[in-house]
Amino acid sequence: MNVDQLVRSSRDLLDLDLGPDLQRAFSIYADELLAWNENVNLTAITAPEAVEMRHFLDSLAVLRAVSLSSGMRVIDVGTGAGFPGLPLRLICPAIELTLLEATAKKTAFLEHIVKRLKLNNVRVLNARAEDAGQMPDQRERYDLVLARAVAQMPVLMEYLLPFCRVGGLCVALKGESAHAETRQAETALQLLGGHLEKIIPVELPQVPETHYLVLVKKVAATPPAYPRRAGMPTKRPL
């Protein structure tokens, strides 16, 4: 698949220049995603332009909110087929990325694509956020915690904030409900040590609805009781 549209939009929207090597990497990623999608349910988005805009460009739009620096520790929670974490890693090879995903078939794809693209500093973790968030080597060790399309904000905050170091940032990629969901997450933010910093609207070409980046700063340590055991955050949102 060619990625000409991604190249143009990345330049226009994000001032990013995707050279030949990056174009090849995104092209391989798209081809592998669509090939695996025949057998494993990875994405409902299969039209080439939609993969470019709704998966790749939407992921890269995180750069409107944060700049990635060398050695930055980043985790993408409920990454599915790698969004938004992997496109960001392609653009910035110096980050240390963890891709966390509960479904083993999806982590099999992630292992495959990481190998196929010969990416170092990428760890694929097959676990639930509620379990990984209590692991000593995962808890409060990330500078940047990302998630797209995983859960509503009150639940999502219980998934994300335990991974974030105090002083670090969580970025949730949201749709039209961003403001309403964030208002509902006030109690969760308070309990978990988060503080809403801002909500940034993002307009993508060929995507009629506005997307939003919800930025939550970690201002205090998350109490050890959180995240609660698997399933509890969705059953009884904070």
The owner of tokens 């109490």 is 223
Return the closest-CA partner of residue 18 out of 96, 79, 87, 112: 87
Alpha-helix residue ranges (DSSP H) falling in the chain: 4-14, 20-36, 48-50, 58-60, 85-91, 104-116, 129-132, 153-160, 178-184, 186-192, 232-235
Binding letters toward ligand SAM, positions 159-178, x by CB under 6 A: x-------------------
Instruction: Using CB under 6 A, pick the residue from 89, 148, 174, 218 that binds ligand SAM.
Output: 148
Span interacting with ligand SAM, options 19-27, 125-133, 189-197, 199-207, rule CB under 6 A = 125-133
CB of 237: closest distance to ligand SAM in angstroms? 13
Label residue 80 left, alpha or beta by phi (over 0 means left) and psi (-120 to 50 means alpha): left
- Is residue 150 part of the contact set for ligand SAM (CB under 6 A)? yes
Identify which range of 2-10, 33-41, 74-82, 203-211 contacts ligand SAM by CB under 6 A: 74-82
User: Does residue number 102 form part of the binding site for ligand SAM (CB under 6 A)?
Assistant: yes
Contact between 85 and 58 under an 8 Å Cβ cutoff? The reply is no
User: Could you say which of 129, 144, 160, 161 contacts ligand SAM (CB under 6 A)?
Assistant: 129
Decide whether 20 or 47 has the Cβ nearer to ligand SAM.
Answer: 47
The number of beta carbons lying within 10 Å of the beta carbon of residue 112 is: 13
By CB under 6 A, residue 134 contacts ligand SAM: no
Among positions 3, 78, 88, 157, the unique one binding ligand SAM when judged by CB under 6 A: 78
Contact present, 72 and 95 (Cβ < 8 Å): yes
- Tokens, residue 71: 């050695």
Q: Are 205 and 53 in contact (CB under 8 A)?
A: yes
User: In this chain, which stretch among 25-33, 94-102, 198-206, 215-223 interacts with ligand SAM, using CB under 6 A?
Assistant: 94-102
Rule CB under 6 A: choose which of 22, 80, 172, 216 binds ligand SAM: 80
> Does 227 interact with ligand SAM (rule: CB under 6 A)?
no
Q: For ligand SAM, which residue has the nearest CB? A: 80
Q: Is 213 exposed, middle or buried (0-12, 13-18, 19+ CB in 10 A)?
A: buried
What residue ranges bind ligand SAM (CB under 6 A)?
Answer: 78-80, 83, 100-103, 106, 128-130, 148-150, 159
